[in-house]
Amino acid sequence: MSELNLILFGPPGAGKGTQADRLRNDFRLPFISTGDMLRGNVKEGTELGQEAQKYMDAGELVPDELIVKMAAERLNESDALDGFILDGFPRTIEQAKALDKQLTEVGRRVTAAILVDVPDQEVVRRISGRRLCVKSGHNYHVDFDPPKREGVCDQDGSRLIQRDDDKDEVVRNRLKVYHDQTEPLIDYFDDQGLMRRIDGTRSPAEVHDHIRAVIATLRMEDDV
Q: In 94-214, which ranges are E strands?
A: 112-117, 130-133, 139-141, 160-161, 195-199
Q: How long is the chain?
A: 224
Q: Taking the model in full, what pTM does it have?
A: 0.85
Tens-digit pLDDT profile for residues 137-184: 999 999 999 999 999 999 999 999 999 999 999 999 999 989 998 889
Cis, peptide link before residue 90, omega less than 30° from 0: yes
Could you tell me what percent of the chain has a pLDDT over 90? 67
Q: Which amino acid is at 13?
A: G
Angle at which helix 64-75 crosses helix 47-57, to 10 degrees, equals 150
pLDDT of 195: 95
Establish whether 91 is a catalytic residue.
yes
The model's confidence at residue 78, banded by pLDDT at 50, 70 and 90, is very high
Catalytic residue among 16, 74, 126, 196: 16
Catalytic residue among 74, 125, 130, 131: 130
Q: Give the burial class of 46: count Cβ atoms within 10 A of its Cβ; 0-12 exposed, 13-18 middle, 19 or more buried.
A: middle
| Residue-wise DSSP of 19-58 | HHHHHHHHHT--EEEHHHHHHHHHHHT-HHHHHHHHHHHT
Catalytic residue among 91, 172, 202, 212: 91
The model's confidence at residue 223, banded by pLDDT at 50, 70 and 90, is low
Establish whether 212 is a catalytic residue.
no
Choose the most confident range, by mean pLDDT, from 6-20, 30-44, 121-135, 176-190.
121-135
Tens-digit pLDDT profile for residues 25-46: 999 999 998 888 888 999 999 9
Compute the distance between CA of residue 120 and CA of residue 14 in angstroms, rounded to an integer: 10
Q: Which amino acid is at 16?
A: K
Q: Which amino acid is at 188?
A: Y
pLDDT of 112: 94
Establish whether 163 is a catalytic residue.
yes
The model's confidence at residue 91, banded by pLDDT at 50, 70 and 90, is confident
Catalytic residue among 22, 24, 174, 202: 174
Catalytic residue among 109, 159, 163, 176: 163
Establish whether 39 is a catalytic residue.
no
Predicted confidence (pLDDT) at residue 1 exceeds the cutoff of 70: no
**CA quadruple 78, 84, 88, 89: dihedral, nearest 10:** 70
Which one of 1.20.1260.10, 3.40.50.300, 3.30.1330.60, 1.10.287.3610 gives the CATH number of domain 4-30+77-119+171-223? 3.40.50.300
Predicted confidence (pLDDT) at residue 62 exceeds the cutoff of 60: yes
